[in-house]
A and B are shown apart, each in its own frame.
Chain A
Amino acid sequence: MCYPLDSRECSRVASTQPSGGEGSVQAEDFYDSIRAGLIAMLPRLKRFADLLTGERRAGAGLLGRALRSMLAGEHRYQRGSALDLWAFAEIYQQWLKELRDHAEPTSLDEADDGRFALLFSSGGEEEFDSLTANFLRSLPPQQRLTLLLVYGERFDHIEAGHVLDVTPKTIGARLVRVTASLADQLGECGPVPATAANAR
């Protein structure tokens, strides 16, 4: 299990290619399966799929189909690269493929209010932020994922762009637009206790 699970680990992993495998000696490397790596990041992958589909059940279904596709086609994964980036991109591509195959793709965009709210139920005592949840639900899936990848997964714009197959500039533009939009809603909800001093 020597592939980098996290994109931030990439820099330390040397790119190694299996040797030729001539003669009676069978050549292979230690990157024998992505299975263990995918298991280790299941909660993160599930969060990604949930936010993409807008609900847990559909997210679980999408993740299951994407995992089967990843395991069946793990040769597509470039050894030594970040497994999480690859896995997120695979889930996103799976979703796009299913969207294209669907008879009415536009009907899949809007997430159900109640089921979307369940995504934020962690069983803890935290206060449920309905304003943010409703805001996220109203966004197109691609914008939700942009926020998740940058603010949730802490990817940089290049990495997030790689997952969503858009340019880093697009990622930056989406972040500004969406964050500003949420800030507008927060501003409408009441005065923000701000001064020049606490802004810093």
Chain B
Amino acid sequence: MTELSDDLLVAYVDRRLADKQTSALEKVLAQDDVVARRLVTLKDAHRRLETAFEAILAGEEADAADQPIPRAPGLFIARETLVKGGIAATGIVIAAALLFAGYGWPLAAPEFAGRPAAMETVASLPADWRKEVARAQGLLSRASLEIGADSQSNPDFMAFQIGQAIGSKLTPPDLTAQGYRFTRAQILTFDGEPLAQLLYLGQNGAPLALYAKKSGESSQPRVTRHEAITGIAWPQGGVDYFLAGESNEDSLQRLAEAVRSEL
């Protein structure tokens, strides 16, 4: 009989051994029934524990489903949180919408293509991108796709469409002096209300997006940040605007000033 400690066998059951150690252990297992029997018992113990914990969680989830979360004063999702989360997700919809439109961005863009690190991230987090894309898809409406790609890049046509949607005329601001050209605009939806998205591209880097939505309440100008995206929000003429991009805050402030002056 070979002497193998429970430490080693538990590590094997937990898949914490290196490949060489695993191979060596499996050779021993093939020849030693006593060790093999101990391993099976440890595996059984492991399985029973996992099953027991799953049973407890199933009970808690059933209880949670039977007891709806109170709106107030208990735990609830504030409307402001939903609004901010939605605005954060609008950045993601750029990729989803362009993919739907057949542009292939960002997968086809040179600066994103062929980067092993990015591919690893996507591959290791399959559940996350589905969740993010599902949330982003909630911002798409029929109006997002009914206007053709050619029309979406026509600033005059889109000014009219946006005016119809949000009730306030919005000609895409000219940011060529700041190094950005208008590429296209589309009508998204948030919380059942139209949300206009105007997209710009600079010489390099990520797109710049200007969002406009009919103002529901007065709000103070503010800077927001979500991972690499910085945003500046402000109300103007009964419309809430939100300018978002990967520029630093100072650059974005200058761009926001340029936008404000054209509105």
Contacts and interface: CB of A to CB of B under 8 A. Distances in A.
Interface of A: 1-2, 9, 11-14, 16, 18-19, 21, 24-30, 32-33, 35-36, 38-39, 42-44, 46-47, 50-51, 67, 71, 119-124, 126, 129, 131-133, 136, 147-148, 150-152, 172, 175-176, 179-180, 182-183, 186-187, 192-200
Interface stretch (B55-63, B155-163, B207-215): B55-63
Contact of B85 (A30, A46, A67, A124): A30
26 contacts: A18-B225, A24-B221, A25-B253, A26-B220, A26-B222, A27-B223, A28-B223, A30-B88, A30-B226, A33-B78, A35-B75, A47-B60, A123-B59, A124-B55, A132-B48, A132-B52, A136-B52, A151-B50, A152-B53, A175-B14, A176-B10, A179-B49, A180-B10, A183-B6, A192-B37, A196-B32
Interface of B: 6-7, 10-11, 13-14, 26, 29-33, 35-46, 48-64, 69, 75-78, 80-81, 84-85, 88, 121, 125, 128, 220-228, 232, 249, 253
B40 A133 contact: no
A199 to B, nearest CB: 4
Contact of A152 (B36, B57, B220): B57
Contacts of A193: 40
B238 to A, nearest CB: 20
Given A192-B44, A195-B33, 15 more contacts: A1-B81, A2-B85, A14-B227, A29-B226, A30-B84, A30-B225, A38-B75, A39-B76, A43-B61, A120-B59, A131-B48, A132-B48, A176-B10, A180-B6, A182-B49
Contacts of A187: 41
B57 A44 contact: yes
Contact of A32 (B41, B81, B128): B81
B81 A183 contact: no
B12 to A, nearest CB: 10
Contacts of B69: 39
Contacts of A182: 45, 48-49
A35 B69 CA distance: 12
A1 to B, nearest CB: 5
A131 B42 CA distance: 15
